[in-house]
Amino acid sequence: MARMASPIRPTDPEARDLARRLLDEATFGALGVLHPETGVPNVSRIAISRTVDGTPMTLISDLAPHTGALRADPRASLLLGEPEDKGDPLVHPRMTIACKAAFLEDKAVHRDHYLAQQPKAALYFDFADFHLVRFTILGASLNGGFGRAYELSPDDIL
Amino acid sequence: MARMASPIRPTDPEARDLARRLLDEATFGALGVLHPETGVPNVSRIAISRTVDGTPMTLISDLAPHTGALRADPRASLLLGEPEDKGDPLVHPRMTIACKAAFLEDKAVHRDHYLAQQPKAALYFDFADFHLVRFTILGASLNGGFGRAYELSPDDIL
Protein backbone atom coordinates (compact mmCIF):
# COMPACT_ATOMS: atom_id res chain seq x y z
CA MET A 1 0.00 0.00 0.00
CA ALA A 2 1.41 3.38 -1.01
CA ARG A 3 0.90 6.50 1.07
CA MET A 4 1.56 10.23 0.91
CA ALA A 5 5.11 11.34 0.17
CA SER A 6 5.61 13.62 3.18
CA PRO A 7 3.71 14.03 6.43
CA ILE A 8 5.00 17.60 7.04
CA ARG A 9 2.16 20.13 7.22
CA PRO A 10 2.37 23.92 6.88
CA THR A 11 2.96 25.52 10.29
CA ASP A 12 -0.20 27.15 11.62
CA PRO A 13 -1.21 28.89 14.88
CA GLU A 14 -2.45 25.59 16.34
CA ALA A 15 0.95 23.98 15.79
CA ARG A 16 2.73 26.92 17.43
CA ASP A 17 0.34 26.82 20.39
CA LEU A 18 0.87 23.10 20.82
CA ALA A 19 4.66 23.45 20.69
CA ARG A 20 4.61 26.23 23.29
CA ARG A 21 2.33 24.22 25.55
CA LEU A 22 4.59 21.14 25.32
CA LEU A 23 7.57 23.26 26.31
CA ASP A 24 5.72 25.17 29.06
CA GLU A 25 4.33 22.03 30.66
CA ALA A 26 7.43 19.83 30.48
CA THR A 27 8.91 18.85 33.84
CA PHE A 28 11.22 16.24 32.33
CA GLY A 29 12.35 15.02 28.94
CA ALA A 30 14.65 12.69 27.04
CA LEU A 31 18.05 14.19 26.27
CA GLY A 32 20.11 12.90 23.36
CA VAL A 33 23.86 13.53 23.39
CA LEU A 34 26.93 12.12 21.67
CA HIS A 35 29.38 9.87 23.48
CA PRO A 36 32.62 11.88 23.70
CA GLU A 37 34.84 9.05 22.46
CA THR A 38 32.70 6.86 20.23
CA GLY A 39 30.19 9.41 18.89
CA VAL A 40 27.28 7.04 19.46
CA PRO A 41 24.00 8.61 20.59
CA ASN A 42 22.96 8.32 24.22
CA VAL A 43 19.49 9.12 25.57
CA SER A 44 18.80 9.83 29.23
CA ARG A 45 16.06 11.41 31.31
CA ILE A 46 16.60 14.91 32.66
CA ALA A 47 14.52 17.43 34.56
CA ILE A 48 13.23 20.32 32.45
CA SER A 49 12.52 23.87 33.48
CA ARG A 50 12.77 27.15 31.59
CA THR A 51 14.90 30.29 31.80
CA VAL A 52 13.05 33.58 32.20
CA ASP A 53 12.79 33.89 28.40
CA GLY A 54 11.28 30.40 28.10
CA THR A 55 14.37 28.57 26.82
CA PRO A 56 14.58 25.00 28.16
CA MET A 57 17.00 24.53 31.03
CA THR A 58 18.08 21.62 33.20
CA LEU A 59 20.14 20.81 36.29
CA ILE A 60 22.58 17.94 35.76
CA SER A 61 25.37 16.32 37.74
CA ASP A 62 28.98 15.60 36.79
CA LEU A 63 28.23 12.07 38.00
CA ALA A 64 25.95 11.53 35.00
CA PRO A 65 27.53 10.67 31.63
CA HIS A 66 25.41 13.21 29.71
CA THR A 67 27.14 16.06 31.54
CA GLY A 68 30.62 15.21 30.27
CA ALA A 69 29.17 14.51 26.84
CA LEU A 70 27.65 18.00 26.64
CA ARG A 71 30.93 19.58 27.77
CA ALA A 72 32.71 17.77 24.92
CA ASP A 73 30.03 18.46 22.28
CA PRO A 74 27.07 20.79 22.96
CA ARG A 75 24.93 19.48 20.10
CA ALA A 76 21.88 17.87 21.66
CA SER A 77 18.30 16.77 21.10
CA LEU A 78 15.40 17.07 23.53
CA LEU A 79 12.20 15.03 23.31
CA LEU A 80 9.37 16.68 25.26
CA GLY A 81 5.71 15.75 25.68
CA GLU A 82 5.29 12.61 27.74
CA PRO A 83 2.15 10.46 27.79
CA GLU A 84 0.76 10.26 31.31
CA ASP A 85 -1.86 7.58 30.82
CA LYS A 86 -2.37 4.23 29.15
CA GLY A 87 -3.65 5.59 25.82
CA ASP A 88 -1.76 4.98 22.57
CA PRO A 89 1.57 6.77 23.21
CA LEU A 90 2.12 7.43 19.50
CA VAL A 91 -1.05 9.54 19.39
CA HIS A 92 0.17 11.77 22.24
CA PRO A 93 1.78 15.02 20.97
CA ARG A 94 5.54 15.34 21.33
CA MET A 95 8.30 17.54 20.04
CA THR A 96 11.96 16.91 19.24
CA ILE A 97 14.03 20.05 19.78
CA ALA A 98 17.40 20.38 18.07
CA CYS A 99 19.46 22.44 20.48
CA LYS A 100 22.88 23.56 21.66
CA ALA A 101 23.79 23.25 25.34
CA ALA A 102 25.50 26.01 27.34
CA PHE A 103 26.62 25.63 30.95
CA LEU A 104 25.53 28.64 33.03
CA GLU A 105 28.23 30.22 35.14
CA ASP A 106 25.85 32.06 37.48
CA LYS A 107 23.98 29.16 39.04
CA ALA A 108 23.05 31.12 42.18
CA VAL A 109 21.34 33.84 40.11
CA HIS A 110 18.90 31.28 38.70
CA ARG A 111 18.31 29.48 42.01
CA ASP A 112 14.88 30.85 42.96
CA HIS A 113 13.60 30.74 39.40
CA TYR A 114 14.71 27.13 38.95
CA LEU A 115 13.40 25.91 42.29
CA ALA A 116 10.03 27.56 41.70
CA GLN A 117 9.67 25.14 38.77
CA GLN A 118 11.46 22.15 40.32
CA PRO A 119 10.97 22.45 44.10
CA LYS A 120 12.28 18.95 44.85
CA ALA A 121 15.66 19.95 43.41
CA ALA A 122 16.25 22.05 46.54
CA LEU A 123 17.70 18.85 48.03
CA TYR A 124 20.67 18.91 45.65
CA PHE A 125 20.69 22.25 43.80
CA ASP A 126 23.69 23.50 45.81
CA PHE A 127 25.85 20.39 45.38
CA ALA A 128 29.08 21.40 43.64
CA ASP A 129 28.73 18.71 40.97
CA PHE A 130 25.35 20.02 39.79
CA HIS A 131 25.23 22.52 36.94
CA LEU A 132 22.54 24.48 35.18
CA VAL A 133 22.50 24.01 31.43
CA ARG A 134 20.50 26.09 28.97
CA PHE A 135 19.43 24.56 25.65
CA THR A 136 19.31 27.15 22.87
CA ILE A 137 16.63 26.05 20.42
CA LEU A 138 17.82 25.65 16.82
CA GLY A 139 14.60 24.13 15.48
CA ALA A 140 12.01 21.50 16.31
CA SER A 141 10.00 18.67 14.84
CA LEU A 142 6.49 18.63 16.25
CA ASN A 143 4.40 15.49 16.04
CA GLY A 144 0.80 16.18 16.97
CA GLY A 145 -0.18 12.54 16.58
CA PHE A 146 -0.15 10.03 13.74
CA GLY A 147 0.56 11.86 10.45
CA ARG A 148 0.38 15.37 11.94
CA ALA A 149 3.99 16.57 11.66
CA TYR A 150 5.42 20.09 11.54
CA GLU A 151 8.89 21.59 11.24
CA LEU A 152 9.22 24.62 13.52
CA SER A 153 11.67 27.49 13.88
CA PRO A 154 12.80 28.92 17.24
CA ASP A 155 10.42 31.86 16.68
CA ASP A 156 7.51 29.46 16.36
CA ILE A 157 8.18 28.16 19.87
CA LEU A 158 9.50 31.04 21.99
CA MET B 1 29.49 20.36 49.04
CA ALA B 2 31.46 17.33 47.87
CA ARG B 3 29.85 13.98 47.16
CA MET B 4 30.79 10.41 46.27
CA ALA B 5 33.02 9.85 43.26
CA SER B 6 30.82 7.38 41.38
CA PRO B 7 27.19 6.38 41.72
CA ILE B 8 27.66 3.00 39.95
CA ARG B 9 26.70 0.09 42.20
CA PRO B 10 27.61 -3.58 41.81
CA THR B 11 25.01 -5.39 39.71
CA ASP B 12 22.76 -7.56 41.88
CA PRO B 13 19.64 -9.71 41.25
CA GLU B 14 17.36 -6.77 42.07
CA ALA B 15 19.01 -4.64 39.39
CA ARG B 16 18.67 -7.45 36.82
CA ASP B 17 15.00 -7.96 37.75
CA LEU B 18 14.31 -4.25 37.43
CA ALA B 19 16.00 -4.06 34.02
CA ARG B 20 14.03 -7.05 32.73
CA ARG B 21 10.79 -5.58 34.03
CA LEU B 22 11.46 -2.22 32.35
CA LEU B 23 12.08 -3.98 29.04
CA ASP B 24 9.12 -6.37 29.40
CA GLU B 25 6.66 -3.60 30.27
CA ALA B 26 7.76 -0.99 27.74
CA THR B 27 5.18 -0.12 25.10
CA PHE B 28 7.10 2.92 23.88
CA GLY B 29 10.45 4.58 24.39
CA ALA B 30 12.78 7.38 23.31
CA LEU B 31 15.06 6.43 20.42
CA GLY B 32 18.34 8.25 19.89
CA VAL B 33 19.92 8.15 16.44
CA LEU B 34 22.50 10.14 14.49
CA HIS B 35 21.54 12.55 11.72
CA PRO B 36 22.94 10.97 8.51
CA GLU B 37 24.57 14.20 7.29
CA THR B 38 25.41 16.27 10.36
CA GLY B 39 25.98 13.53 12.95
CA VAL B 40 23.93 15.38 15.56
CA PRO B 41 21.82 13.27 17.90
CA ASN B 42 18.07 13.09 17.37
CA VAL B 43 15.55 11.71 19.87
CA SER B 44 12.06 10.57 18.89
CA ARG B 45 9.31 8.44 20.36
CA ILE B 46 8.80 4.95 19.00
CA ALA B 47 6.58 2.01 19.86
CA ILE B 48 8.39 -0.83 21.64
CA SER B 49 7.66 -4.53 21.54
CA ARG B 50 9.93 -7.56 21.78
CA THR B 51 11.04 -10.39 19.50
CA VAL B 52 10.39 -13.92 20.70
CA ASP B 53 13.76 -13.91 22.51
CA GLY B 54 12.94 -10.65 24.31
CA THR B 55 15.09 -8.31 22.22
CA PRO B 56 13.46 -4.87 21.79
CA MET B 57 11.79 -4.33 18.42
CA THR B 58 9.85 -1.51 16.82
CA LEU B 59 7.76 -0.70 13.73
CA ILE B 60 8.83 2.52 12.02
CA SER B 61 7.93 4.33 8.80
CA ASP B 62 10.14 5.62 6.01
CA LEU B 63 8.26 8.91 6.50
CA ALA B 64 9.98 9.38 9.90
CA PRO B 65 13.56 10.75 9.93
CA HIS B 66 14.78 8.12 12.42
CA THR B 67 14.22 5.39 9.83
CA GLY B 68 16.64 6.85 7.30
CA ALA B 69 19.08 7.63 10.10
CA LEU B 70 19.13 3.99 11.24
CA ARG B 71 19.65 2.79 7.67
CA ALA B 72 22.69 5.09 7.40
CA ASP B 73 24.09 4.27 10.87
CA PRO B 74 22.61 1.50 13.03
CA ARG B 75 24.15 2.74 16.29
CA ALA B 76 21.30 3.76 18.55
CA SER B 77 20.20 4.40 22.12
CA LEU B 78 16.87 3.47 23.70
CA LEU B 79 15.48 5.05 26.86
CA LEU B 80 12.82 2.86 28.46
CA GLY B 81 10.84 3.23 31.68
CA GLU B 82 8.36 6.10 31.46
CA PRO B 83 6.73 7.77 34.46
CA GLU B 84 2.96 7.49 34.23
CA ASP B 85 1.94 9.82 37.02
CA LYS B 86 2.78 13.18 38.53
CA GLY B 87 5.47 11.94 40.96
CA ASP B 88 9.10 13.10 40.69
CA PRO B 89 10.12 11.73 37.26
CA LEU B 90 13.79 11.49 38.27
CA VAL B 91 12.89 8.98 40.97
CA HIS B 92 11.14 6.69 38.47
CA PRO B 93 13.38 3.83 37.26
CA ARG B 94 14.62 4.01 33.69
CA MET B 95 17.22 2.33 31.52
CA THR B 96 19.34 3.54 28.62
CA ILE B 97 20.12 0.69 26.24
CA ALA B 98 23.08 0.97 23.87
CA CYS B 99 22.03 -0.97 20.81
CA LYS B 100 22.48 -1.71 17.13
CA ALA B 101 19.49 -1.61 14.81
CA ALA B 102 18.75 -4.26 12.17
CA PHE B 103 15.88 -4.05 9.69
CA LEU B 104 13.99 -7.36 9.54
CA GLU B 105 13.39 -8.74 6.06
CA ASP B 106 10.57 -11.07 7.06
CA LYS B 107 7.98 -8.62 8.37
CA ALA B 108 5.04 -10.95 7.73
CA VAL B 109 6.61 -13.69 9.88
CA HIS B 110 6.55 -11.40 12.91
CA ARG B 111 3.06 -9.99 12.22
CA ASP B 112 1.03 -11.91 14.79
CA HIS B 113 3.71 -11.66 17.45
CA TYR B 114 4.06 -7.90 16.99
CA LEU B 115 0.33 -7.18 16.87
CA ALA B 116 -0.26 -9.23 20.02
CA GLN B 117 1.90 -6.65 21.78
CA GLN B 118 0.80 -3.58 19.79
CA PRO B 119 -2.77 -4.30 18.63
CA LYS B 120 -3.41 -0.73 17.44
CA ALA B 121 -0.59 -1.10 14.91
CA ALA B 122 -2.88 -3.38 12.87
CA LEU B 123 -4.11 -0.14 11.23
CA TYR B 124 -0.74 0.44 9.54
CA PHE B 125 1.39 -2.71 9.98
CA ASP B 126 0.95 -3.70 6.32
CA PHE B 127 1.79 -0.29 4.82
CA ALA B 128 4.80 -0.69 2.54
CA ASP B 129 6.71 2.16 4.22
CA PHE B 130 6.59 0.52 7.66
CA HIS B 131 9.47 -1.72 8.72
CA LEU B 132 10.25 -3.88 11.71
CA VAL B 133 13.57 -3.09 13.35
CA ARG B 134 15.28 -5.19 15.99
CA PHE B 135 17.63 -3.53 18.50
CA THR B 136 20.45 -5.85 19.52
CA ILE B 137 21.44 -4.93 23.07
CA LEU B 138 25.12 -4.05 23.54
CA GLY B 139 24.81 -2.88 27.16
CA ALA B 140 22.66 -0.73 29.39
CA SER B 141 22.77 1.93 32.07
CA LEU B 142 20.07 1.35 34.67
CA ASN B 143 18.96 4.17 36.93
CA GLY B 144 16.75 2.90 39.72
CA GLY B 145 16.23 6.39 41.12
CA PHE B 146 18.43 9.14 42.49
CA GLY B 147 21.95 7.74 43.03
CA ARG B 148 21.05 4.13 42.25
CA ALA B 149 22.94 3.46 39.03
CA TYR B 150 24.11 0.20 37.46
CA GLU B 151 25.98 -0.78 34.31
CA LEU B 152 24.48 -3.93 32.81
CA SER B 153 25.55 -6.44 30.17
CA PRO B 154 23.17 -8.01 27.62
CA ASP B 155 23.13 -11.19 29.73
CA ASP B 156 21.92 -9.19 32.71
CA ILE B 157 18.82 -8.15 30.76
CA LEU B 158 17.83 -11.00 28.40
Q: Does A140 touch chain B (CB under 8 A)?
A: no
**Chain B residue whose CA is closest to A128:** B1
Percent of chain B with pLDDT over 90: 84
- B43/A32 touch (CB, cutoff 8 Å), yes or no: yes
Model confidence at B146: pLDDT above 60: yes
pLDDT for B7:
79
Identify the CA nearest to B80 among candidates B146, B141, B134, B37. Answer: B141
**C-alpha to C-alpha distance for B16 and B24, rounded to whole angstroms:** 12
Q: Which member of A43, A63, A85 has the closest CB to residue B78?
A: A43
Cα–Cα distance between B32 and B114 in angstroms, integer?
22
Is it the case that residue A9 has pLDDT exceeding 70? yes
- Measured CA to CA, the distance from residue B110 to residue B98 in angstroms comes to 23
In sequence order, the 6+-apart residues with CB closer than 8 A to the CB of A52 are A113
Confidence band of A86 (pLDDT split at 50, 70, 90): low
Residue A2 reports pLDDT greater than 70: no
Q: Does B145 touch chain A (CB under 8 A)?
A: no
> B residues 33-62 near A, CB within 8 Å?
33-34, 39-45, 47
pLDDT value at residue A82? 84
Residue among A43, A86, A98 whose CB faces B40 most closely: A98
Distance of alpha carbon A26 from alpha carbon A79, whole angstroms: 10
Contacts of A130 in chain B (CB under 8 A): none
Give the pLDDT confidence score for residue B71 in this predicted structure: 98
Are the C-beta atoms of residues A54 and A158 closer than 8 Å to each other?
yes
Question: CA B148 to CA B9: how far, in whole Å?
Answer: 7
CA distance B20 to chain A (A): 18
Q: Using pLDDT thresholds of 50, 70 and 90, give the confidence band for residue A83.
A: confident
Which residues from B are below 8 Å from A59, CB to CB? none
Inspect the interface and report whether the beta carbons of A43 and B85 lie closer than 8 Å. no
Residue B82 touches partner A, C-beta closer than 8 Å: yes
Closest-CA distance of chain B to residue A13, Å: 23
pLDDT tens digit sequence for B7-50: 799 999 999 999 999 999 999 999 999 999 999 999 999 999 99
A84 touches chain B (CB under 8 A): yes
- For residue A84, the model assigns a pLDDT of 66
Q: Is the pLDDT of residue A122 over 80?
A: yes
pLDDT of residue A51: 95
Local confidence band at A6 (pLDDT 50, 70, 90 cut-offs): confident
Of all residues in chain A, the one with the smallest CA distance to B147 is A63
For chains A and B, CB pairs below 8 A equal 132
Most confident of A11-20, A144-153, B141-150: A11-20
3-state SS, one letter per residue, for chain B: CCCCCCCECCCCHHHHHHHHHHHHHCCEEEEEEECCCCCCEEEEEEECEECCCCCEEEEEECCCHHHHHHHHCCEEEEEECCCCCCCCCCCCCEEEEEEEEEECCCHHHHHHHHHHHCHHHHHCCCCCCEEEEEEEEEEEEEECCCCCEEEECHHHHC
Q: Can you tell me the distance from the alpha carbon of A73 to that of A145, in angstroms, rounded to the nearest whole number?
A: 31
A83 CB within 8 Å of a chain B CB: yes
Give strand ranges (E) for chain A: 28-34, 41-47, 49-50, 56-61, 75-80, 94-103, 130-143, 149-152
The minimum CA-CA distance between B47 and chain A, rounded to whole Å, is: 7
Q: What is the pLDDT of residues B106-124, one digit of tens each?
A: 999 999 999 999 999 999 9
Q: What is the mean pLDDT of chain A?
A: 93
A77, A90, A94 ranked by CB distance to B47: nearest:
A90
pLDDT of B128 strictly over 90 = yes
- Which chain B residues have a beta carbon less than 8 Å from that of A151? none
Residue A147 has pLDDT above 80, yes or no: no
Residue A8 DSSP code: B
* Backbone CA torsion sign across A51, A57, A62, A68: negative
